[in-house]
Amino acid sequence: MKASNLELYNFRNYEYENISFSDGVNIIHGENGMGKTNILEAVYYFSYGRSFRSGGKEVIKDGEKEARISLSFENSQRKLESDIKFLSGKRKEIYINEIELKKTSQLLGNFICVLFTPDEMGIIKGMPEVRRKFCDSSIMPLRPNYIKELIKYRNILAQKTALLKSRQYETLDIWNEKLAETGSRIMTLRESYIERINQKAREIQNEISGGKEELNLIYNPSVKLKENYLEKLTEYKEKEKENLFCMVGVHRDDIDIFINGKPAKNYASQGQIRTAVLSLKLAETEIIKEETGEYPVMLLDDILSELDKSRREFLISKIKGKQIIITCTDIENYFNDNVNIIEIKDGKNVSSYR
């Protein structure tokens, strides 16, 4: 996977910019608030059709009516050009080779990137929602139908919640059947993905920590794997009528993460958490390589300065042969190879003035 050229038009603090990426390491350098993360955000849009930050119409430059971003990229099969237009009122149009996509899901799998930011420590420390999101976003580019299941589930859940709140119970069983059907499919995919990423991430964590840290991810679904999904929903029917919300189902799943047998959330040190997230992200890239035959583009936001020397060296050794786009505020070159330095100042690519 390779991103070659990015164009930004009224996107965040960019008026118009054109940025070329090289095959290997690309360093986006600049002071705080200059627009480095905005570039990663734009690139990320072409993988997921959404932002990893707030997104929405906030991406349109203040005072402007619309924004556009374009990416030329290459996957193992072909060279493509994709455009995303952001229009006022949350509307967005996505094009591949100038043909408008009917659904965002059609974008998935064309351009695959993996994002690594300090915020991702939330995968270990945060609420279950963060872990579900991590798992779901990792599955999405590999199984484009998965997002359809998630959307379907969310809609059914919203309908059922509305019925509970308005105390209309006649059709509850029908909604439960629909939830069980979609929910079971989501569970199956989550279960196999978590098992797979666990194996890979364990190996990596073991390697980084010199055999001292054993990482373990265990899927902790709301409906247990041996239980019957519909029966479980039926069992909770009366309780749900009292509480007016949907109490069981994949919207309440979690992933339990352990380091050396203890819940990482409560016991792990900052460094161990960073290592675990690093292991998960690298594991994610390995799975993408197995599935698609090529590595994703790695987007690293301010991550090198957060890691200590040995972990930094480990990460650098692991990103050999991949395209990476990395932001930093200090220009210290941790890489021995040739790097493409993109200098950003106040929403402008000033590389040519270096």
Instruction: Kindly list the residues in this chain that would bind ligand ATP in the complex (CB under 6 A).
Output: 12-13, 30, 32-38, 58, 60-62, 327, 329
Least Å distance, CB 301 to Mg ion, is: 6
**Residue placing its CB nearer to ligand ATP in the complex, 30 or 249:** 30
Q: At what angle do helices 309-318 and 270-292 cross, to 10 degrees?
A: 0
Rounded Cα gap, residues 194 and 206, in angstroms: 18
Choose the contact partner of 35 out of ligand ATP, Mg ion, none; CB within 5 to 8 A by kind: ligand ATP
**Residue placing its CB nearer to ligand ATP in the complex, 12 or 131:** 12
Residue 38 binds to Mg ion (criterion: CB under 5 A): no
Choose the contact partner of 12 out of Mg ion, ligand ATP, none; CB within 5 to 8 A by kind: ligand ATP
Least Å distance, CB 122 to Mg ion, is: 16
DSSP labels, 98-122? TEEPSSGGGTTTTS-EEEE-GGGGH
Distance from CA of residue 123 to its chain's centroid?
Answer: 11
**Residue placing its CB nearer to ligand ATP in the complex, 142 or 344:** 344
Cβ-count burial 277-311 (b if 16+ within 10 Å, e if not): bbbbbbbbbbbbeeebebbbbbbbbbbbebbeeeb
Binds Mg ion (CB under 5 A): choice among 10, 26, 37, 349:
37
**Residue placing its CB nearer to ligand ATP in the complex, 8 or 255:** 8
Q: Say if residues 326 and 25 touch (Cβ distance below 8 Å).
A: yes
Three-class secondary structure of residue 80 per DSSP: strand
Neighbours of 346 (CB within 10 A): 12
Least Å distance, CB 34 to ligand ATP, is: 4
Least Å distance, CB 264 to Mg ion, is: 26
Least Å distance, CB 96 to Mg ion, is: 28
Going through the chain in order, the beta strands assigned E by DSSP cover 2-9, 16-20, 25-29, 67-74, 79-86, 92-96, 99-100, 113-116, 215-220, 254-259, 262-263, 297-301, 324-328, 339-345, 348-349
The interface region with Mg ion, picked from 30-38, 70-78, 166-174, 207-215 by CB under 5 A, is 30-38
Choose the contact partner of 249 out of ligand ATP, Mg ion, none; CB within 5 to 8 A by kind: none
Least Å distance, CB 38 to Mg ion, is: 8
CA atoms within 13 A on the CB side of 41: 19
**Residue placing its CB nearer to ligand ATP in the complex, 61 or 132:** 61
Least Å distance, CB 336 to ligand ATP, is: 25
Least Å distance, CB 27 to ligand ATP, is: 13
The first and second tokens of residue 222, run together, are 């709301």
The first and second tokens of residue 23, run together, are 């095959």
Rounded Cα gap, residues 126 and 98, in angstroms: 40
Choose the contact partner of 173 out of ligand ATP, Mg ion, none; CB within 5 to 8 A by kind: none
**Residue placing its CB nearer to ligand ATP in the complex, 63 or 211:** 63
Environment class of 160 (CB within 10 Å of its CB; exposed 0-12, middle 13-18, buried 19+) = buried
How far apart are the two ends of the chain, measured CA to CA in Å?
Answer: 29
**Residue placing its CB nearer to ligand ATP in the complex, 51 or 206:** 51
**Residue placing its CB nearer to ligand ATP in the complex, 28 or 215:** 28
Residues that bind Mg ion (CB under 5 A): 37
